[in-house]
Each structure stands twice: as C-alpha cells, then as structure tokens.
Amino acid sequence: MSALFEPITLRSLTVPNRLWMAPMCQYSAAPEGPAEGAPGDWHFQHLAARAVGGTGLILTEATAVSPEGRISPYDLGLWNDTQTEAFRRITAFLKAQGTVPGIQIAHAGRKASTERGWVNRGGPILPGQRYGWEPVGPSPVPFGEGFATPAELSVAQIGEIVAQFAATARRALAAGFEVAEIHGAHGYLINEFLSPFTNRRTDEYGGSYENRTRFALQIVDAVREVWPEELPVFFRISATDWLAEDESDEREGWTADDTVRFARDLKEHGIDLLDTSTGGNAPDAKIATGPGYQVPFAERVKKEAGLAVGAVGLITEARQAEKIIADGQADAVLLGRELLRSPSFAQHAARELGAEIALPSQYHRAA
C-alpha cells in the first residue's frame, strides 16, 4: 500500500489520499459589478479538472474576507450572497468526484491592490488609479519600492477584520466547503502581524511574541467558533522570513523556532493541520530553493509540536511525494505548479506507485 494514497482522517473528515492541491491565485474574477469576486467558469474548470484527476483535497486560491482584503481586484472573495451561491456549484462537483473541497480565507494587508500576476509582474495599483485602493497593515511599512504605504490599523479596525474572517467562514460552510484554511503566510496581513520585520507596533498587537501572535489567534478562535466541531481548520504559515537563515542579514524576522512555538499555540486553539510554506514577507530575502526545500520546516513542526502538517515547495515527482509521507516528514503534500502542468498527477502517481485510485466512471477505459 502506498503511503501517499492512504486515507487520512482529521476530526470526523476523511480525505481519500495525501496528495492535495495548494491554493493558487487565478486572477480571473470580475473586478466590479454584480459578480465581483465570485468564481466563474474558469475557476470551475480549474478546480474540477484536478478533482477528476484524483486529487484528495483541493484548496481554493486565497479568498478575501472583504473587497480591501484582496491581493488584486481580480481575486476571489466571499463577503456576499452572490459569491456564496457561485461557490456551491464548485463544491458540489468536487464532492461528487470524492474530493474534499477546502477554502483558503485571507486578507492581503500591505500587499493588496496589485495587478494580475502576468501584468507588470503583479506590481502595485496605487490609490487613485483604476481599481486601486489604500492597503492596510499592522504598521506603515510598504512592501517594496513603488508600493503604497499601508495605513496602520487601529485596534477597532483589527476587531472588524477578525469578525470578517468569522463571517467568511460562515459563508464558506454555507457554500459547501469542508475545510477552512486561514492564510497566515507569504507576507499577507496575518504574517505581517506575526513578524517583527513588518510589525513595529507598541500596543497590545506588537512587540513581544505574545502580542504579535494575538491577532492570528483571535482569528483562529473566531473561525473555530463558527466552524463545525467535526470539521478541520488549517492554518497556512510562512515558517521563516528567510532573514535569520541568512547570517549576513541582521534584520529581525519570523523564524523557524517561532513557528514551532506558534504551532503548539495553534494546536491548543483548535487548528488541525499546519500548511507549512516559507517566505513572502521580505521581498529581498535570500531563499535557498531546491526540490522539497521547505519540507524540513514541516517535519520539524510535526516532530516538535505534535501537529499534523502539510509539506509544500518544488514537490514534482510521485516517488518524492511518497517518500515524504512514508518517512513521516509530513501528513500530506500540497502541489502547486506541478498540478497546473498535470491536472491528473494523482492518477499518474498512483499508477507509478502501484496504488489504487478511484476514477470517474466516464474514464473507465483508463483503468
């Protein structure tokens, strides 16, 4: 039996295999009008194809809790009834294929109001420009050259965003999702609060580790309160800003040690799996990439914090993914670019590893 194709149960939810789809922005939602932020035909085919291909769990792209929380004006959102209804078509199809539908809920923070990834390299759309708005953050620290300086959030505004995460989680449940993932990675708002590199506050949301993690834990508590006890909640984290990993860089950032400590806190607050990525907060950080380069961060959390983990990052081959699971480095692997290239990667991997995988009846000739 292939370890990669063994089911995994989180709370009362069983996922048929350990090969999952990571959230990937498609920048294909309407930026205005009645369908603003709602998934359309592109999103349906994008997610449905990977479900037909045998992927065990699929996470949507970062789905914003408010219009201002989008990375770009073309991102998905889940703050109104139109969006909720549009997602139902997708979740129903994924479930019919035996795939677990999950949603990543997010706020972009200081990295909001940008172009689509293939336009101007995803550069900023400044306030006053068409579709542009003023980004927000824990502190008035812009993401990089040419980006707008974010407005520092007040304590009252922080509370409003916590409530928005809970409201989006309620809508996600109504839309048919079975997993909610809180996006705390890649330099977006929650990550900005966690890291001393971007959090320069002196109030109860800045300074100490306890203060910098307060916002994230309040969001976790708010989501967990509205999410069913029997269904899991994930948290995506950047395990390091890649600043402390570079001895020549004296800037203070979020570290792997912080992640292990925080994983223990997340477990106590009801998080069921840590989706472990890295980077995205310091645009000029030196990142040592290579096949499976982020897996050791996941493995450390699993071993030292006792929390289930997902591993990501240049996982491109079936035997590579199999070894990660079989060696106990992670509980699941989440593929991104490789699933863009090969929507039926799970079917190919099962054949290579000698595992059985359910195929749609329409594809019986491929069995």
DSSP bridge partners of 13: 10
As a whole number of angstroms, the distance between CA 367 and CA 365 comes to 6
Pairing of strands 19-21, 332-335: parallel
Query: Amino acid letter at 152?
Result: E
Q: What is the number of residues in the chain?
A: 367
| 3-class SS shares of the chain: helix, strand, coil, % to 5 | 35, 15, 45
Which has the closest alpha carbon to 262: 280, 288, 240?
A: 240
Dihedral angle at the C-alpha atoms of 191, 19, 116, 65, nearest 10 degrees? Answer: -50
Identify the active-site residue in 188, 205, 209, 293.
Answer: 188
Residue 367: DSSP 8-state: -
Helix (H) or strand (E) holding 81: helix 81-96
The DSSP secondary structure of 284-320, one letter per residue, reads T------TTTTHHHHHHHHHHH--EEEE-SS---HHH
Give the CA count within 13 Å in the CB-facing half-sphere of 169: 25
Whether 295 and 329 have beta carbons less than 8 Å apart is answered as: yes
Asked if 188 is an active-site residue, the reply is yes
What sign does the dihedral 15-302-328-347 (CA atoms) show? positive
As a whole number of angstroms, the distance between CA 349 and CA 59 comes to 20
The CA-atom distances, in angstroms, between 28 and each of 61, 68, 155, 201 are: 11, 17, 33, 35
List residues with catalytic annotation. Answer: 188
